[in-house]
Amino acid sequence: MSDTLKELDDLIKECKKNRPDAQRKLYERFSGKMFAVCLQYSKDYTEAEDILQDGFIKVFTKISQFDFKGSFEGWVRRIMVNCALERYRKQNLLYTVGEIRDYDNKLAVDDVMGEISSKELLKLIGDLSPQYKMVFNLYAIEGYSHQEIGDMLGISVGTSKSNLSRARVILQEKVEKLYSERKQDVKLVVK
Amino acid sequence: MTIHADIDKIFKEGLADYSQKPPAFVWDNIEHTLNKKRIRMRRNLFYSLAASVALLISFGAGYLLTAFHTEQGVLVQHVKDEEPGLQNSEKEQVPALVVEPEQLKEAAVPNGIKMNEPVKSSVLPVLKPVKTTDVSVEPKKTESNIKKASTGGTLLPPMFSSGAEYSAYSPVEESKVNTEPIAMDGTSDLATLQAIPAIESRLIQPKADSRVLKYSLQSLAVYNDDYLIQNKKNENPWAVSLNASPLLSYRSVGESNADYVYAAEVTSNYEQEYKNEKPLMAYSVGVDVSYKMTGRWSVQSGVYYSEIGQRSDNVTVYDFQSFGSSDQSSYQVNTSVGNVRINGNTSELVNSSSSDGLIINIPVYTDGTETFVRSSGVEVDFVQVFSFYEIPMMVRYLLIDRKLSLNLSGGISTNILQGNKAYVIDDNKRQTLDGETETVKSMGYNGLLGFGIEYPLVSRLNFNLQPTFRYALSPMNDAGTVHPYSFGIYTGIKYSF
C-alpha cells in the first residue's frame, strides 16, 4: 500500500472515531473535487454549496459504514450524487421537453477537449434543464443504465433515453459552437 | 477540416479531474452541524444513563426495604450483640430472648429461678429477665435459634405472652433494670415460664420503653411480620385486568434513504424532512394476566389491540401515471414510514374532499415519444394508521405497598401487524383509501416502560391507572429508518383471584 493510501486509510479510521481534526483534513482533501461534482448536478453555485454541505455531513455520519473494500473517493462521490438527486426530486417535478432531433452518438474525436476547459464544459452542463442534466450526468458521467436512472428519477426507461438524446443534441450544438469560435478553420460535425 | 466528436467522452474526461475550491463558510457550516450532533449524542447518552441510574436506585431501594423487613428476626440477634450502649456486664444481665425448650430442660437455672417443664413444640416458652449477673441462660447463636426467630407461628415474643405478664414488666424503669429484682419468687414460678399458643397473642402493642424491652420490641416486630407473611401466603397470586388507553403516537426518523424514497417524492410535494407529518391520536385496548412471584415482584402478559399512525397535512398528490407509467390508476405519496401507493386516481380525492382539496391544473407535456400527463393534483390531509396485536411480557415491581399502591413496570412486546390503512380527511371525517403503506414490516418489537397506580374499589377489584411509554426497538419499515413510539395512560380494572 502506498504512503498516500495508507495516510488516507488512517485518516478515515480517525474520522470513524469522530475526531474533528481528521474530519477537517478529509474535507480539505476531497472538497475541491466534490464541489465540482456538485456544480455538475446543481442549477447554480449556491445549490452546489448546499449539496456539498449536506453530502459531507452525510459522509461523516455514515463513514462507519465504509468498509475499505472500494475506492473511498468513489464512495464519497456517490453520496454527493445521491444528495444532488434528493434535492432534485424535491425541486423538480416536471420539465418541458422540446422536439427530439436525430443524432449519431458514436462520433469519436478527442481533439475538442484541448480547446474547451473543464469549467466551460461544466457551464454547458449547467445550462441544461434539470432533468436533462440529471439524465446526462447519470448516464454519461456516472455510467448508470437507463433502467437505473428511471428508477432513481421515477421516470420510464423511454423517457430517460429521450432525455439523454435531447441533452446530447443540446450539448453537441454548444460544443460545436464553442469549438468553432476557437478554431475558425475546423468544423465540428454533429449529425 | 471536419472532425467528429463523442460528446459523452468529451464531458466525462473533461470533468474527470476538475476541482474547484468551495467557499470557506461551507466547512464552518459542516463543523457547526457536526458539533451539534456530537452534543445531541452526549446529551442522549447522559439521559439514558440518568434514567438507568434512577431505575436502579428505585429498584435497589425497594429491594433493600423488603430485605430489611424480612430479616428482622436475624437482626434481633445482631442488635443484641452489637448494641453500643451496653457494657459487657450489662450484656450479661440481658436475658435470652429465644430459648429452645430442650435448652430450658437442661439449663442450670441459677438463684432459685425455677421453670416449668418444657412445653410442647407448638407452644412457646417465655423467660423473664432476672436481676443477677449469674443468669446463664444465654441464647445459643445457632442457625436453629435464628431460624426460629424468623419463622412465623411457632415462637411467641418473649415477655409478651399475655397482657398480664406484660403489665408486670411495663413499669420497670431503665435505671432499675439491673438492680431491682424483677423475677418472680418461687411461688410464682408458674408465671415465669408460660406457654401460650402463638395464635392467641396476635399483634401486641407494647406500652413501656426500657432497654430490656427494646429487644422484645424487635422480637415483636418479627412476630408481627411473620403473622402478616403467613396471611399473605394464603393469597392467590393470579390476577386479570382489562385496560384501555388513548395513544399519542409518532415516530423517530433516521437519515433518509435515497434509494428508498425516490418515487413518490416526484409525485407529491413531500419534503425530505417530512415536516408535514404530525402525531396521531389512536387507541389501545387489551387484557392481561399477572402472577405475583414474591411480595413485590410480579410478571404479566396478555393480548392488546393497538393502533398507531401519523397525520400529514397539506400534501399535494399527483396521479402516478403522470410519469409515463403504464399504471394508469394509482398514485403515491412518500412518507417517513414508506411510500403509500393508492389505487384509483386523485380525482376521487377531489370529489371526496371538495372542501379541503385544491385542484392543481398542470398542462400536458409531450416529449415526442411519451406523454407526461400529470394533469391534476389535489391537496389533502392524509392519515396513515397501523394496527397491531401486541403480546407484552412485563415485569412489575411494587414500589409502595399501601392502599394506594405504586409500581414500576418494564418489558417488551411482540407486535404483529394486523392492519395498514390510509385515509384522507374530508370534513373532519376519515375517508378510507384503497391503498397501504408499502414496505412496512409485519412483525416488530416494542420496549415498554410504565408507572402504575392501583386503588382498591371493592373486595378483590382494583382500579388501575398506568401511564406507559413504548418505543419500537426494531424499525418499522424495510429501510430501517423509522422507529414509532407512543404514550398512553391506561386505565382499567384488575380482579385478584
pLDDT band (50, 70, 90) for residue B469: very high
Cell numbers for B439:
414496505
Q: What is the pLDDT of residue B360?
A: 37
Cell numbers for B322:
403522470
ipTM comes to: 0.81
pLDDT band (50, 70, 90) for residue B412: very high
Measured distance CA(A161)–CA(A125) in Å, rounded: 17
The residue-averaged pLDDT of B31-54 equals 80
Name B307's Cβ contacts closer than 8 Å, sequence gap at least 6. B247, B249, B282, B283, B284, B385, B386, B387, B388, B419
Which of B11, B258, B325 lies closest to A156 in CB terms? B325
Measured distance CA(B40)–CA(B208) in Å, rounded: 61
- Most confidently modeled of B142-146, B170-174, B300-304, B357-361? B300-304
Note whether B22 contacts A31, CB cutoff 8 Å: yes
pLDDT band (50, 70, 90) for residue B233: low
Phi and psi for B78 in degrees, rounded to 5? -65, -45
Q: pLDDT tens digit string along B128-151?
A: 444 444 444 444 444 444 444 444
Which domains does chain B carry? 71-233 (no CATH), 237-315+382-496 (2.40.160.20)
Bridge partners of residue B484, in order along the sequence: B251
CB within 8 Å of chain A, chain B residues 116-175: none
Residue A1 to chain B, least CA–CA distance (Å)? 23
Delimiting residues of CATH 1.10.1740.10 domain(s) in chain A: 3-91
Name B114's Cβ contacts closer than 8 Å, sequence gap at least 6. B186, B189, B192
Give, rounded to a whole angstrom, the gap between the first and last alpha carbons of chain A: 48
Q: Give CA separation, B414 vs B164, B388, B391, B442, B448, in Å.
A: 63, 9, 5, 11, 11
**CB < 8 Å & 24+ apart, contacts of B109-118:** B109/B137, B110/B134, B110/B135, B110/B136, B111/B135, B111/B183, B112/B186, B113/B183, B113/B189, B113/B192, B114/B186, B114/B189, B114/B192, B115/B189, B115/B192, B115/B193, B116/B189, B116/B190, B116/B193, B116/B194, B116/B195
For residues B312 and B282, is the Cβ–Cβ distance under 8 A? no
**pLDDT above 50 for A164:** yes
The owner of cell 392519515 is B383
Q: What is the pLDDT of residue B234?
A: 63
Contact of A129 with chain B, judged by CB distance below 8 Å, is answered with: no
**Lowest-confidence region among A74-78, B41-45, B296-300:** B41-45
CATH topology of domain A3-91: Rna Polymerase Sigma Factor; Chain: A (1.10.1740)
Contact of A127 with chain B, judged by CB distance below 8 Å, is answered with: no
Q: pLDDT tens digit string along A115-132?
A: 778 888 888 888 888 888
Residue with the larger pLDDT of the pair B48 and B491: B491
B331 contacts in A (CB within 8 Å)? none
Q: What is the pLDDT of residue B271?
A: 46
Q: Class of the A111-182 domain?
A: mainly alpha
Note whether A86 contacts B256, CB cutoff 8 Å: yes
The owner of cell 412486546 is B413
pLDDT band (50, 70, 90) for residue B198: very low
Nearest chain B Cα to A21, which residue?
A: B31
For residues B411 and B404, is the Cβ–Cβ distance under 8 A? no
**pLDDT above 80 for B434:** no
Q: What is the pLDDT of residue B245?
A: 93
Residue B493: strand, helix, or coil: strand
Q: What is the pLDDT of residue B330?
A: 59
Q: What is the pLDDT of residue B466?
A: 92
DSSP code for A63? G
Contact of B40 with chain A, judged by CB distance below 8 Å, is answered with: no
CB within 8 Å of chain B, chain A residues 41-100: 48-49, 52-53, 56-58, 60-62, 82-83, 85-86, 89-90, 93-94, 96-100
Delimiting residues of CATH 1.10.10.10 domain(s) in chain A: 111-182
The residue-averaged pLDDT of A11-16 equals 89
**pLDDT above 50 for A97:** no
**pLDDT above 70 for B209:** no
Residue with the larger pLDDT of the pair A188 and B257: A188
Which of A36, A152, A175 lies closest to B5 in CB terms? A175
Note whether A155 contacts B324, CB cutoff 8 Å: yes
Q: Which candidate, B9, B206, B333, places its Cα nearest to that of A113?
A: B9
Q: What percent of chain A has pLDDT over 90?
A: 18
Note whether A109 contacts B372, CB cutoff 8 Å: no
CB within 8 Å of chain A, chain B residues 204-263: 255-256, 258, 261-263
Which of B3, B255, B272 lies closest to A61 in CB terms? B255
Residue with the larger pLDDT of the pair B228 and A87: A87
Contact of A157 with chain B, judged by CB distance below 8 Å, is answered with: no
**Lowest-confidence region among A17-31, A54-68, B238-252, B315-329:** B315-329
**pLDDT above 50 for B380:** yes
Phi and psi for A19 in degrees, rounded to 5? -85, 120
Cβ atoms within 10 Å of B47's Cβ, excluding its own? 10
Q: What is the pLDDT of residue B246?
A: 92
